[in-house]
A and B are shown apart, each in its own frame.
Chain A
C-alpha cells in the first residue's frame, strides 16, 4: 500500500486521502499529493507499484474507492468530459492512430478532443514546434520510432490547447540523446500555466526534466533528488 504526500501550493492536480485497487489488490491507501502548475512532475516507482493507476485515476480511466481527486477543480468521476478536455494522456509506448499519416493523426487527435479540425498550416506549425521533422509529416505512423511518437503527441497537446500533459513511462526505449531532447520538450510544455506529469521506474528522464519527483513505493514515499536543481520538491518534501 503506497501513500503519496507532498506537493507545492497552487495545485493543478490534487489527491486527498485517495484509496484505489487494481484487480482487487489495494495499490493506494489514503494517498495525498499535489502536482503543481508550471512544473514537470515525475512519479517514480517499481513495476506494479501503481504508477499507471495514478494516471488512470487522473484521466478517469479508473475509479477510486475513497478520497478526493481534483483536476483544476473538477472531479474525474463526476466531470469526466471537463477533466479529459484539460488532459492530454499518452499511454505507455505513446501509441498513435494506426494507418494514418502524422499530419492526419495530429488532426484526428485534435478533432476528437476539441471537436475542431485544425488547419494544415496550424498543424504543421504545432508539429514543428514539437520537433517533428518535416519529412515525417506524410509518413505512416507505424513507421515512427518512440521519440517521434512522443513528439507527435506533444504536437497534439499543443493543438488541443490542453493544460496538462500526462505521459506514462515516456522514457522507454529512448537513447540518451532522445532523452535529453524529450526533457527539453517537456520543460517547454510545462510553462505558461501548463503542467506535465510523467511516470517511470528509473530517474533517467526525471533527472533531466522533473521539477518535482514523487516516489511511489510500497508503504513509503521517498523524495528523490534530481540532477538539476529541484526547489519545488525540496520545498514540499
Chain B
C-alpha cells in the first residue's frame, strides 16, 4: 500500500468523521455553545463596564455635591473604585487632576496579574474542554463502533498494516478536531467576537490542536480497548477525563518537583510553597491610623481646593507631582517587566498545557511555572507592602491641604498642618517579586518532562489501542 493510499485513507476517514450526523451535531452544538458563551461573556463585560462607569460617575458627582470630600485622602477602596475594570488601565483619563497621581500605584488589576486570565473563556479552554472531549470520545467511539460492527476484523484482513490503520485513525481524528476548531474560530471571528487574552494569535495554535487531538485520540484508542460497546466507551472516556482532572493537578507539580535538577532547587521550591501557601494573605489596605485621625472637611467647590493649593503650596505641589511622575514611570517599568515575564510564562503554559488532559491541569501548570495562585498572592503581598509604604510616605509626611468651605464661601481653617516635604524617592523603585521559573529554565526542567509524558502516553496508548484492535478483530 503506497503513501497515496494512506493519504487517501486519512482523507476518507476525515470526511467520514466530519460528515457523520453525530460528529456534525456535536460540532454544531459545541460551536453554538461556545459562540453563545463568548457573546454573552462579551456583552456581560461591556454591560459591567458601562454600569461601572455610570456608577463611578454618579459616585463622583455625588461626592462633588456632598458636603464632605476628602481630596487625596479618601479611603483607598473608594479610589480603587474609580478605575476601569481592566488591569491594563491604571489611570482614568480626565480625572488625573482630581485624583492624586500617587494612586496610580494602587494595585487594582496588578493584584490579579496572573490569575485573571484563568477566569476567562480563552482559546485554550475552548480547545481543552470541548475539544479534548471531542477528540477523546471520537477516538473511543470510532474504534468501538468499528469493533461492534465487525468492520475492524475485515480491515485487519486487508493488505494494510494495523499501525497504518491506527495512525490513519489518529491523524484523521486530529485533523477533524482541528477542522472543528477552525470552524468555531471562524464563526467567532466572523461574528465580531473575540477570545481572551485579546492579544493571542490563534491561527498558529491550530496545529497544536492537531497534536492535542492526536494525544487524546491515542488515549481514546486505549479507552476503546477497555470498551466493547459505544456506551461503555463513552463512560470509559469520560471516566478517564475525570480521573485525569482529579489526579493530574497534584501529580504534575510533584513530578516536576521530583525532576528538579538540584537539591537546592527542590529545597527552594519547598520553602517557597510552604511560605506562601500558609502565610501570604490578600492584604486589605487599612484606612485606619494616620488617615483615620484626619478631620473631615467640607468642600462644596472642588476647584477651590486646587486654587487654594496652587496659591499656598505651588512649589511643593510641583515637586510632589514631578516626583510622583518619576516614581510612577519607574514603577511602570518594573510592572512592565513583570508583566512581560508573566506573559512568557503564560505562553509557556499555553504551549505545554495542550498535552495533558484534564480540567484543572492548566492551574497546576500555572503553579509549576510560577504564575499560579500562590505567585499571585505573593505579588499581591508585595504590591500591598509597597502601597502601604507609599501611603505612609504620602499621607504621613505630605503637606496636605484640606479646607472647609462653608456656605458663605469663606475658608474656615486647615485641618492638617504642614510637616516635612515629600520624599517620594525614599519609597524607592517598586521591585516586583521574582517569578520562580524563568522561561528558559522552566523549559529545561519542565519541557522534557512534558515531552516525555507525550511520548510515553502516546506509545502506551497506541500499543494498547492497537493490541485492543487486533484482539477485537
Tell me whether B150 is interfacial, beta carbon within 8 Å.
Answer: yes
Q: A4-12, A87-95, A203-211, A224-232: which lies at the B interface?
A: A87-95
**A95 lies within 8 A of B151 (CB):** yes
Label chain B's interface by main secondary structure. helix
The answer for the CA separation of A170 and B149 in the assembled complex, in Å, is 15
Which chain B residues lie closer than 8 Å to A84 at the CB level? 157-159
Which chain B residues lie closer than 8 Å to A60 at the CB level? 157
Tell me whether B452 is interfacial, beta carbon within 8 Å.
Answer: no
Q: B2-10, B53-61, B238-246, B457-465: which lies at the A interface?
A: B2-10
Q: A93-B150, A95-B153 are in contact. Are A112 and B160 (CB under 8 A)?
A: yes
Q: List residues of chain A with CB under 8 Å of any chain B CB.
A: 59-61, 80-81, 84-85, 87, 89-93, 95-100, 104, 108-109, 111-113, 115, 117
**A95 lies within 8 A of B150 (CB):** yes
The answer for the CA separation of A111 and B2 in the assembled complex, in Å, is 10
Tell me whether B473 is interfacial, beta carbon within 8 Å.
Answer: yes
**B149 lies within 8 A of A117 (CB):** no
Tell me whether B328 is interfacial, beta carbon within 8 Å.
Answer: no
**A91 lies within 8 A of B159 (CB):** no
Q: A61-B473, A111-B12, A112-B9 are in contact. Are A98 and B151 (CB under 8 A)?
A: yes
In the complex, 14 of the A-B residue pairs with CB atoms within 8 angstroms, ordered by the A residue number, are: A59-B157, A80-B159, A91-B150, A95-B149, A95-B154, A97-B151, A98-B149, A104-B12, A108-B9, A111-B8, A112-B5, A112-B155, A113-B158, A113-B160
Contacting residues of chain B (136-165) with chain A, CB-CB under 8 angstroms: 145-146, 149-151, 153-160
Tell me whether B1 is interfacial, beta carbon within 8 Å.
Answer: yes
**A85 lies within 8 A of B159 (CB):** yes
Tell me whether B263 is interfacial, beta carbon within 8 Å.
Answer: no
CB distance from B472 to the nearest CB of A (A): 11
The answer for the CA separation of A183 and B5 in the assembled complex, in Å, is 33
Most chain A CB within a 10 A radius of its CB, from B150, B153, B156, B159: B159
The answer for the CA separation of A1 and B16 in the assembled complex, in Å, is 44
Contact of B156 among A61, A81, A111, A117 (CB under 8 A): A61
Q: List residues of chain B with CB under 8 Å of any chain A CB.
A: 1-2, 4-5, 8-9, 12, 16, 20, 145-146, 149-151, 153-160, 473
Which chain B residues lie closer than 8 Å to A91 at the CB level? 150, 153-154, 157
CB distance from B167 to the nearest CB of A (A): 14
Which chain B residues lie closer than 8 Å to A97 at the CB level? 151
Which chain B residues lie closer than 8 Å to A109 at the CB level? 158
Given contacts A112-B159, A112-B160, 18 further A-B contacts (CB under 8 A): A59-B157, A60-B157, A61-B156, A80-B159, A89-B157, A90-B154, A91-B150, A91-B153, A91-B154, A95-B151, A95-B154, A98-B146, A98-B149, A108-B9, A108-B12, A111-B5, A111-B8, A115-B5
The answer for the CA separation of A230 and B180 in the assembled complex, in Å, is 59
The answer for the CA separation of A84 and B2 in the assembled complex, in Å, is 15
**Nearest chain-B residue to A85 (Cβ)?**
B159
Q: A61-B473, A98-B149, A111-B5 are in contact. Are A81 and B159 (CB under 8 A)?
A: yes
The answer for the CA separation of A61 and B158 in the assembled complex, in Å, is 10
The answer for the CA separation of A61 and B2 in the assembled complex, in Å, is 22
Which chain A residues lie closer than 8 Å to B159 at the CB level? 80-81, 84-85, 112-113
The answer for the CA separation of A152 and B8 in the assembled complex, in Å, is 21
**A87 lies within 8 A of B5 (CB):** no
**A99 lies within 8 A of B5 (CB):** no
**Nearest chain-A residue to B145 (Cβ)?**
A98
**A96 lies within 8 A of B158 (CB):** no
CB distance from B161 to the nearest CB of A (A): 8
The answer for the CA separation of A91 and B472 in the assembled complex, in Å, is 12
